[in-house]
Amino acid sequence: MNNSQVAPEALTSDIKKTRMRRKYFFGTVIMYIPALLITNHISPTNRAMGTMFGIWVVMLIITTFLTAICRCPRCGNYFHLHGMTLLILRRCLHCQLHINSDEIT
């Protein structure tokens, strides 16, 4: 299936969903250090730090899974998953569709 066979509104909505899930993933990764510092400031115990770490790991697993199962609107394969390899790049790992292809004029 090539790009001309995909409806533009379907391409736009699927790419927006993929971009949103990427933002959640990278937001989860970036929030680890501030969450660690805030938890340490509020309660510098090992139990509090371990609880915060456990919650963060669960959030990371969920956002990673949701990011991994996004499908490319052009080729129908997983956008960031090729075999067992998860690479969160800006292009589809199969057909090279760019993550901002709906915004490029």
> Residue 7's pLDDT band (boundaries 50, 70, 90)?
low
Q: What is the pLDDT of residue 4?
A: 46
86: β partners: 81
- For residue 46, is it within any domain? yes
pTM, full prediction = 0.81
Total domain count, the chain: 1
C-beta of residue 62 within 8 angstroms of C-beta of residue 56: no
Please write the tens of the pLDDT for every residue from 22-76: 999 999 999 999 999 999 999 989 999 999 999 999 999 999 999 999 999 889 8
| Of the candidate ranges 5-14, 59-68, 87-96, the one whose mean pLDDT is the lowest | 5-14
Q: What end-to-end distance do the CA atoms of the chain give, in Å?
A: 22
Q: What is the pLDDT of residue 6?
A: 59
- For residue 61, is it within any domain? yes
- For residue 29, is it within any domain? yes
Q: Give residue 78's domain range.
A: 7-86
- For residue 11, is it within any domain? yes
- For residue 31, is it within any domain? yes
C-beta of residue 73 within 8 angstroms of C-beta of residue 14: yes
- For residue 94, is it within any domain? no
Helix (H, G, I), strand (E, B) or coil at 81: strand
